[in-house]
Amino acid sequence: MNLTPSLRVLFDSIPLSKLKTLGVIDWGAPVPVFGSLDDSEVATVGLNPSNREFVNLAGEELGDLERRFHSLQSLEIEDWNNLDISHLTAIEKSCSEYFSGNPYDQWFRVLDNIISGTRHSFYNYNRRSACHLDLIPFATYEKWGDLAKEHQHDLMKISTESFIKTLCNSKLKLLILNGESVVRLFSDITNISLEKNEKKEWQLPRKSGRHVAGYSYRGQISKVRDIKLNRSILILGYNHNLQSSFGVTNSVKRSIRSWVKEKYDEQGI
C-alpha cells in the first residue's frame, strides 16, 4: 500500500484557487501521514499540520537543510496543477521518512511518550513503528481554533474522502485522538460516536478553584461510514491537547499513558 491514492484524491478534490482564502499555506504540500503508514498498526491523530512544518519562527519557508515537507519551490513547479507521478512520489517519500529527517520534536516527543506503553514508537526502531495522521492534511497560517468556522467546515469537506481512504487502506488497529477538538472532528468525519467517561486523575488544577475536568473517549469500529474494514480498530482519546492545553502535568501524562497501555493490552492487539 502507498499514499499515492490518498494524495491523488486530495489534489483531485482541492479547489486550488480557494485554498489561500481558507487560510491554508497553499504553497506547501498536503500531509496525510507522518511516518510509515505501511509499517504501522498504531497511529496518533491530530487536527492539521503545524505551520512550523513549513516555516521558521520568522515565517520564512524552511530551507533545504531544515525542510520537512515539499513545497512548490522544492518541487520546482509553479502550480499544483503541474503535478506528475514523480512529484507525488516525492511528497509520499517525505511523509514516510519524516521521523528519520528533521521532525518537529517539540510536538511529537510528547505523543511518542503517550504510546510508549504499547511498544510502538515514531522514533525507536527497536520497537514497532507508529505513525501520525492529521484529520485535515493542510497546514494553515493560523491555528485551527482561530480559523473562521466556515473555513474549518470547508476544509473538513475537502479532506474527508482522503482521510477515510488513508484509514481504510492502512493496517492500523489503534488510533489515539489527541484532544477534545480532535475527538469532535473525528466523530464528524467518520460518523462515529465514542463513549465518554470522566477521569478524576486527569483533572487540571486552576488557582481560581474551578478545575478543568479530564475525560476519556473510547470506541471500536469495523467500518467507516459505509466502508467495511478488514479488521477492527480501537479508538482511544482524551480531552486535553497535551501540547497546548495549559497546565497539563507530568502526572496527568503518565496517567494517560498508563490508560492507553491498559486498553491496548486488554484488546490484545
Instruction: Report pLDDT digits (tens) over 211-223.
Output: 889 999 999 988 8
Angle formed by the axes of helices 149-168 and 180-190, nearest 10°:
70
CA R_g for the chain: 18
Cell of 187: 466523530
Mean per-residue pLDDT for 16-36? 89
Report the CATH number that the domain containing residue 30 is assigned in CATH: 3.40.470.10
pLDDT in tens, 120-153: 999 977 788 999 999 999 999 999 999 999 999 9
Q: What is the full DSSP assignment across 35-61?
A: S-STT-SEEEEESS--GGGTB-TTSPB
Angle formed by the axes of helices 85-96 and 4-13, nearest 10°:
120
Mean per-residue pLDDT for 149-171? 90
Residue 240 has pLDDT above 90, yes or no: yes
What total number of domains does the chain contain?
A: 1
Whose CA is closest to 107, among 134, 142, 128, 127? 134
Q: Please give the Cα distance from 31 to 114 (Å, whole number).
A: 22
Q: Which residues pair with 184 in a beta bridge?
A: none
* Higher per-residue pLDDT: 245 or 265: 265
Give the residue numbers spanning the domain of 101. Answer: 4-267
Q: Which residues pair with 61 in a beta bridge?
A: 55
